[in-house]
Amino acid sequence: MNKINRRSFIKTTTAVAATSTMATFSPFAIGGATKKVVIVGGGIGGVTAAKYIKMLDSKVDVTVIEPNKNYYTCFMSNEVLSGHRSIDSIRFGYDGLKKRGVNIVHDAVNAIDAKGQVVKTAGGKSFAYDRCIVSPGIDFKWDTIGGYDANVAESIPHAYKAGPQTVTLRKQLESMKDGGVFLMCPPPNPFRCPPGPYERASQIASYFKAKKPKSKILILDPKDKFSKFGLFMDGWKRHYGYGTDNSIIKWVKGAEGGKIESVDPKTKTVQGEMDPFKADVINIIPAQKAGKIAFVAGLTNDKGWCPIEGKTFESKKHKNIHVIGDSAVASPMPKSGYAANSQAKVCAAAVVALLNGGKTPHPSYVNTCYSVIAPGDGISVAMVYDYKDGKIVKVKGSGGLTGKYDKKTRAREEQYAHSWFNNITNDIFG
């Protein structure tokens, strides 16, 4: 028998409020045999969900299945590419979860038997569950760019799952001659971290400006606009001469031939609507879809993402399975780490309530995406979300975009970006 008493209830709600996910909890009776939650994926969504389930009800048996022993955050990985931070500074382990009594299994899930409520791994193990939470992140649509696949991505990295490819791309940038061209091809919508490619271009431009001033960045984009568009354009003009003959960055939009069709890894040439283009370093970020296991488990729709019920994140395809993070269809929330963290807390509260026969709480969700355009110049977009008429909706008047340039405010936004990173990684892995 386990009870959430007034003290632990207040402690939990305080912890949740402190991290800005304002789910309102109602105390509920807890009883019965040990309940099992199996979590697929030890990334942002999965680890947050595991931690918060344990905080809400320490008696729940929580298992996280994740193949890797270390997790590298994608957030701030662009600062690794620019040399402003080390790869070690974005590496996290699972000791925090272990201390909380979460079982960590380093293996890959290769099947979920939704009827039998069993998760199976490549290593041949089976894990029964009362509730399963799936947070496998994204996979790439390898068939969309001729000549580009998972093998080629080892030498022409996407670096859109942080880790070894982040290091490879950084090394390539370091060994590129001054006067070389870095070519980036961002993906079409929808994709993980909408400002990510443009923050990456900004960070690499800051590296070139300081260390390789004759070098250029070409962005061949299938889209005509992107997140925080006006703020990036304004920043690129201020720091990198955007729009002049000397600009470090050139951005070609979809309507002007930005879409690429194929790449020849041997000659480092891309082909698309424009003439063939040869670059010194290439970064292709392909179109995206839900993580592979979501397809295997029958959790995806015809667009390749997982439809969910926004109050609990329970799959619309299979009962007792919840999908959170990038794989889930949680629009209007973006596919971001902060969104995955917020969704995980809502999901954890719902799962604990459901396991104990309680009422699922009314959720509230939050997201902020920071980008650092240049040292001392940070920008952000923020939003609070509510749940109304069966849908996740934006709260009118909440959040917003960074305003017009002001040196002091922008320096503070950069500080906020870095303190957000410290706070959220502590909230997840601490």
Ligand X SMILES: Cc1cc2nc3c(=O)[nH]c(=O)nc-3n(C[C@H](O)[C@H](O)[C@H](O)COP(=O)(O)OP(=O)(O)OC[C@H]3O[C@@H](n4cnc5c(N)ncnc54)[C@H](O)[C@@H]3O)c2cc1C
Of residues 140, 242, 338, 365, which one binds ligand X by CB under 6 A? 338
Q: Look-up: residue for tokens 């969704």? A: 343
Taking the complex as a whole, the smallest distance from the CB of residue 366 to ligand X amounts, in Å, to: 11
DSSP lists the bridge partners of residue 364 as 386
What's the rounded Cα separation, in Å, for the pair 375 and 317?
Answer: 45
- Which of 329, 363, 349, 292 lies closest to 131 in space, CA to CA? 349
41 touching ligand X, by CB under 6 A: yes
Q: Of the ranges 14-22, 59-67, 210-218, 380-388, which one interacts with ligand X (CB under 6 A)?
A: 59-67
Site map (CB under 6 A) of ligand X, residues 200-219, x = contact: x-------------------
Q: Of the ranges 60-68, 90-98, 171-179, 253-261, which one interacts with ligand X (CB under 6 A)?
A: 60-68
Of residues 340, 372, 373, 384, which one binds ligand X by CB under 6 A? 340
- Cβ–Cβ < 8 Å for 285, 158: yes
- Which of 59, 58, 3 lies closest to 29 in space, CA to CA? 3
Nearer of residues 56 and 290 to ligand X, judged by Cβ? 290
Nearer of residues 4 and 134 to ligand X, judged by Cβ? 134
Taking the complex as a whole, the smallest distance from the CB of residue 273 to ligand X amounts, in Å, to: 26
Q: What's the Cα-to-Cα distance from 286 to each of 163, 182, 304, rounded to whole Å?
A: 17, 17, 14
294 touching ligand X, by CB under 6 A: no
Hey, what are 221's tokens? 């984009």
What's the rounded Cα separation, in Å, for the pair 321 and 313?
Answer: 8
429 touching ligand X, by CB under 6 A: no
Q: Look-up: residue for tokens 């290091």? A: 167
- Cβ–Cβ < 8 Å for 264, 147: yes
198 touching ligand X, by CB under 6 A: no
Closest residue to ligand X in the complex (CB):
43
66 touching ligand X, by CB under 6 A: yes
Of residues 37, 45, 156, 353, which one binds ligand X by CB under 6 A? 45
Question: Strand 288-290 to strand 306-309: parallel, antiparallel, or no bridges (unpaired)?
Answer: unpaired
Separation of CA 195 from chain center: 11
User: Where on the chain is the footprint of ligand X (CB under 6 A)?
Assistant: 40-46, 65-68, 71, 74-75, 77-78, 108-109, 135-137, 160, 192-193, 196, 200, 291, 293, 325-326, 335-338, 340, 369-370
